[in-house]
């Protein structure tokens, strides 16, 4: 795989950090997650990772974390600015300066920053105000834009760019990912259109709910169909098929749209009502069959369970590389128990049983020290 041999240290966090680590793990990187002892965080973005539990409030736990990072290629920092600096684990502890030699000048230090949560980031980015919703307020798309697209995915992209540059310079660097800026970057198309004046108020544009031929419709069984026939040739196929169903069922009514209706905006309210009433006459799977194999750009809205039947339980790593494809790691859905690999990771660092025992005595490993099978009298 493309990242075989790359060592990553990921401090346990939520959403963007784990996703960045998952992207790297899927492509062959060895990812070690540092958890707090007795952590209860439930992270599903853990395929291919290992976990060590360390209490970095202890001097010995902090030393182990520092040694892990000193031997790593990448560290993923999900904390507020300054947290790792206070622990002596910031970039300056590993990169050389005019005054001192660094512990790991090849280290790529990836930092994710944001004050709040996804909904706050996209609110500040200008993107949330443009999203569809009700007439009263816009709706937010789960936490996909800031946490995952503008956060985790751009973080992984920044790490890959830094690895590529390191191949030329031999030096690491800091990758700064601000999730407000990241949200703006992945939303470049609507934002640039907005500032150029070619995007109207929310709900008046082709892609934000104004066009009846780019929307979601409810069927008779309560399920939904999506249509996105923006191009005239696709709309022509869609409306021809739709009118055919309405005519054969005797429910076409006194008015029916033609291909030219798409460019006659004053007819859009009538078209929307026609489609709403029409889709409600049949169940979703009926409409799926009507449009299957056509260029009408009309497809069913699948539930997560339905989509898993087609694509598998786990989302497939993407993109695919022809010679060095990513690992699919498509096992059952599991979480990674904090500290599950503590003993193995410590051994790989070269620690003797006596030193591991001392870590347990110091409290650096928390309750996870029991996994080392150390004598209770020593704990």
Q: Is 118 tagged catalytic?
A: no
> What is the pLDDT at residue 83?
95
CA-nearest of 103, 104, 99, 62 to 83 is: 62
**Residue 195 belongs to some domain of the structure:** no
Integer Cα distance of 360 and 345 in angstroms: 14
> What is the pLDDT at residue 366?
85
**Residue 172 belongs to some domain of the structure:** yes
**Residue 25 belongs to some domain of the structure:** yes
Stretches in the chain below the pLDDT threshold 70: 328-333, 367-379
> Are 265 and 372 contained in the same domain?
no
> What is the pLDDT at residue 329?
61
Query: Annotated catalytic residue: which of 147, 178, 208, 210?
Result: 147
- How far apart, in Å, are the Cα atoms of 338 and each of 49, 335, 367? 11, 9, 11
> What is the pLDDT at residue 369?
67
Query: Annotated catalytic residue: which of 105, 117, 215, 337?
Result: 117
Q: Give the number of domains in the chain.
A: 2
> What is the pLDDT at residue 143?
97
> What is the pLDDT at residue 331?
54
Q: Which CATH number belongs to the domain containing residue 152 in this structure? A: 3.40.50.10540
> What is the pLDDT at residue 377?
36
> Are 278 and 133 contained in the same domain?
no
> What is the pLDDT at residue 314?
84
Integer Cα distance of 122 and 180 in angstroms: 6
Parallel, antiparallel or unpaired: strands 74-77 and 108-113: parallel
> What is the pLDDT at residue 46?
93
Q: Is 314 tagged catalytic?
A: no
Q: Which domain holds residue 230?
A: 214-218+224-300
> What is the pLDDT at residue 182?
98
| Preceding amide of 85 cis, omega within 30 | no
Query: What is the reported pTM?
Result: 0.92
The shares of helix, strand and coil residues in the chain, as percent rounded to the nearest 5, are: 45, 10, 45
> Are 114 and 163 contained in the same domain?
yes
Last residue of a domain, one of 300, 331, 362: 300
**Residue 312 belongs to some domain of the structure:** no
């Amino acid at each position: 795989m493309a990242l075989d041999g790359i060592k990553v240290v990921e401090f346990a966090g939520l959403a963007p950090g784990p996703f960045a680590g998952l992207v790297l793990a899927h492509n062959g990187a060895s990812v070690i997650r540092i958890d707090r002892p007795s952590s209860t965080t439930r992270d599903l973005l853990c395929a291919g990772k290992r976990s060590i539990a360390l209490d970095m409030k202890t001097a010995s736990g902090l030393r182990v974390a520092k040694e892990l990072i000193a031997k790593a290629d990448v560290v993923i920092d999900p904390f507020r600015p300054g947290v790792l600096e206070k622990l002596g684990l910031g970039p300056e502890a590993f990169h050389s300066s005019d005054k001192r030699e660094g512990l790991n000048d090849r280290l790529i230090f990836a930092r994710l920053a944001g004050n709040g949560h996804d909904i706050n980031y996209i609110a500040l980015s200008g993107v949330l105000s443009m999203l569809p919703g009700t007439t009263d307020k816009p709706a937010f798309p789960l936490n996909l834009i800031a946490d995952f697209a503008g956060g985790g995915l751009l973080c992984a992209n920044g790490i890959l760019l830094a690895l590529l540059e390191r191949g030329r310079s031999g030096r690491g660097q800091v990758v700064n990912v601000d999730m407000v800026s990241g949200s703006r970057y992945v939303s470049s198309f609507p934002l640039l259109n907005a500032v150029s004046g070619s995007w109207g108020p929310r709900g008046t544009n082709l892609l934000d709910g104004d066009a009846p031929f780019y929307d979601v419709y409810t069927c008779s069984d309560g399920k939904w169909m999506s249509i996105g026939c923006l191009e005239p040739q696709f709309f022509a196929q869609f409306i021809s098929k739709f009118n055919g169903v309405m005519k054969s069922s005797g429910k076409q009514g006194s008015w029916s749209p033609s291909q030219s209706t798409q460019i006659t905006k004053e007819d859009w309210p009538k078209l929307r009502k026609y489609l709403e009433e029409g889709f409600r006459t049949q169940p979703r799977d009926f409409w799926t069959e009507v449009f299957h194999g056509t260029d009408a750009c009309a497809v069913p809205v699948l539930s997560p369970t339905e989509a898993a039947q087609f694509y598998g339980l786990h989302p497939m790593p993407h993109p695919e590389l022809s010679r060095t494809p990513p690992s699919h790691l498509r096992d059952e859905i599991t979480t990674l128990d904090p500290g599950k690999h503590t003993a193995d990771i410590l051994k790989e660092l070269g620690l003797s049983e006596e030193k591991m025992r001392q870590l347990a005595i110091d409290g650096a490993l928390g309750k996870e020290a029991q996994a080392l099978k150390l004598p209770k009298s020593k704990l």
